[in-house]
Structure formats: structure tokens, C-alpha cells
Structure 1
Amino acid sequence: MSEELHLPLNSGKNELYSALLPQLEALLAAESDLIANLANMAAVLKEAFGFLWVGFYLVREDQLLLGPFQGPVACTRIGFGKGVCGKAWETGQTQVVPDVEAFPGHIACSSASRSEIVVPLYAKGKVVAVLDVDSEKVGHFDTTDQQYLEKMVSLISFPG
């Protein structure tokens, strides 16, 4: 794949994800560096969907540390079980939050964020990072986003 996305015009969310998945797979397969692949995945999702914020937090000892992202300045460190990202790390399950204001312990890195989805990434059976996606719209994320984002993060290979 070239470093250019081919996005179907006037398509729904399902069609857009379906078109992106093979392009992202080809892009990631051509590169072995973890940080480069995380950066490109964040850029692909931001460009395709125009989300407020797309990025990764990497597990570093007892915290999530900010990794590659696209969007406004973000929180740098998040504790285990704290906020939506920390909850995804703690439970090992995707968190779909229709209204961040209603999520107990939500960490407001950006006051513009209204809904969020966080998908854990695994290596050797444990969570090693999370993909965090924020939207300015309440109720933006659903099972379609969850299904495709989980497929997309499964394409990431962690060294070691």
C-alpha cells in the first residue's frame, strides 16, 4: 500500500471500516517498527473518520504512558483502573462510553470529548497498550466501531 488512503465517498461507517481494514493491514505488514505502526494506525483512523482524538497508551510498569496519537494535547500518564483507558486495561475489555460525563472517574483530558471507546491490545495474553478514540458527539461509538477497532488492533505486533 502506498501512504495514501482510498476512502469510499458517501459511505456508511461499516463500509468505511471495511474499506480501511485491508489498507491498514497492508500498511502495517510493510513495517516492523511498533511505534511507526501505532502512529500510522492513529493517523488512518483520524483521517478516515475525523475523530477528535485517536491514540495509544502503552503499559509502562504501573501506568499507561502516552504513545503515538493524533489530536489535541493529551494526558501523559493514566493509572491502572483510572478513567476509561485505565478501566480497559484493568478489565481487559473494550469500553464503549456513550457519554463520558456519566462515566464514574472519567479523566477529562479534553473538555471537547463527549464519547469514547477504548480497546485493549494484547501480547502474550496480557494487556500491553490501549487504543483510545474520542468523539465530540455523545453516543458516537457502537458495536460496529468495537468490532472493527478490535480487528484493527489485532494487526499490531508487539516485540518480545
Structure 2
Amino acid sequence: MDFEVLKPKVAQILGQEEMDRDLKLKNLCQFLSDSVSYYNWVGFYFANHETKTLHLGSYVGAETDHTVIPFGKGICGQVAESNANFVVPDVSAQDNYIACSFTVKSEIVVPLFVNGVNIGQIDIDSHVIDPFTENDERFLEYVNQEVAKLF
């Protein structure tokens, strides 16, 4: 996958002035899901640091019951505490994994920073075992740098 060709479209989606932030993020999620064959669920969680919880924002893919996740719980909750990317090649091998669907085989979560503060994350589930590479990480870091400009 050549992520470089996707970057201009990411910037274009997020730069549309006539749309509110939630719609921009929803359109971005749809674009990523449509553009990368193994991005089967794409969404954003946002942190509430007072309650130490993550709250589901815009997403595309199967509905999820996990709309609020405590810090430390699951992959997303761990990223809220670690401030580091987390790539899970095979979710069945993870002890602290919150199962969303039996179709999910792998996951990548990349934190979203605004002014040095982890305000949330992009979360991507895949129906394929071990599809994510360092290129996915770098691309999603770029995506989050662009998303951070909305805050």
C-alpha cells in the first residue's frame, strides 16, 4: 500500500471549511476504510481525563457496544495510558483485549496529540491477521497530525 497517495485526500477532507469537525472525521473514517482493504473498522475515541475514560467519536464499520472505555482497559485504554502506538497482530493472543466482534483479527491504535496532550486516538480493526506494518503506523501518525489541527 502506497500511503503517500492517500495523504493529499486526507488533508482535503479535513480542510473542508463548510463541514463541522464530526462530519470531517466521519468522512475521513469512510475514506480510510474505502482506501485500505484491511481497514475494516475505523474510528476515533476521545479522552476525558477527569473520569479517565475514552468516548467513541466518529467511526465507520460494525456497530460497537464499546462507546466508553476506561483507561487501561483493552488496547485503546492501554494507549490512553502509554501514549504510544499499539499494534496487535493477532487479537486472540492478547490478554487485555476487549472483543468487539469475532471477525476482528488484528488492531492498530495510534494516539492523537494536541499541544503535547493525548486527547484521543484512531483505532482500526482488521479482519486479517497481522496486516499492519510500520508504514501503517507512520501514515496514521500523519493522519492524526492533520486531525489535531481541528482542535
Tell me if TM exceeds 0.5. yes
Q: Is the counterpart of residue 109 in structure 1 residue 100 in structure 2?
A: yes
The counterpart of 2:42, out of the listed 50, 54, 79, is 54
- Equivalence for 1:38: 25
Larger mean CA deviation between 89-98 and 23-32 belongs to: 23-32
Q: How many residues are matched?
A: 145
Q: Is the counterpart of residue 69 in structure 1 residue 85 in structure 2?
A: no
- Equivalence for 1:25: 11
Unaligned 5+ segments in structure 2 are: none
Instruction: Name the amino acid aligned to 1:28.
Output: L
User: RMSD over aligned Cα, in angstroms?
Assistant: 1.3
Larger mean CA deviation between 22-31 and 32-41 belongs to: 32-41
Q: Is the counterpart of residue 84 in structure 1 residue 107 in structure 2?
A: no
- Note the C-alpha offset of 1:24: 1.1
- Note the C-alpha offset of 1:140: 1.0
For residues 137 and 69 of structure 1, the distance between their equivalents in structure 2, rounded to whole angstroms, comes to: 19
Larger mean CA deviation between 88-97 and 150-159 belongs to: 150-159
- Note the C-alpha offset of 1:55: 0.4
For residues 83 and 25 of structure 2, the distance between their equivalents in structure 1, rounded to whole angstroms, comes to: 19
For residues 126 and 82 of structure 1, the distance between their equivalents in structure 2, rounded to whole angstroms, comes to: 19
For residues 24 and 44 of structure 2, the distance between their equivalents in structure 1, rounded to whole angstroms, comes to: 11
For residues 13 and 32 of structure 2, the distance between their equivalents in structure 1, rounded to whole angstroms, comes to: 13
- Equivalence for 2:114: 123
- Note the C-alpha offset of 1:148: 0.6
Runs of 4+ in 1 over 4 A off after TM superposition: none
Instruction: Name the amino acid aligned to 1:42.
Output: C
For residues 130 and 27 of structure 1, the distance between their equivalents in structure 2, rounded to whole angstroms, comes to: 18
Unaligned 5+ segments in structure 1 are: 1-12
For residues 40 and 9 of structure 2, the distance between their equivalents in structure 1, rounded to whole angstroms, comes to: 22
Deviation string 1:6-52 (CA, Å, 9 cap, x unpaired) is xxxxxxx1x2x111101111221223732122212111111111422
User: Contact 2:16–2:24 at 8 Å: present in 1 too?
Assistant: no
Q: Percent identity?
A: 35
User: Contact 1:123–1:158 at 8 Å: present in 2 too?
Assistant: no
Instruction: Name the amino acid aligned to 1:63.
Output: T
Q: What TM-score do the two structures reach when normalised by structure 2?
A: 0.90
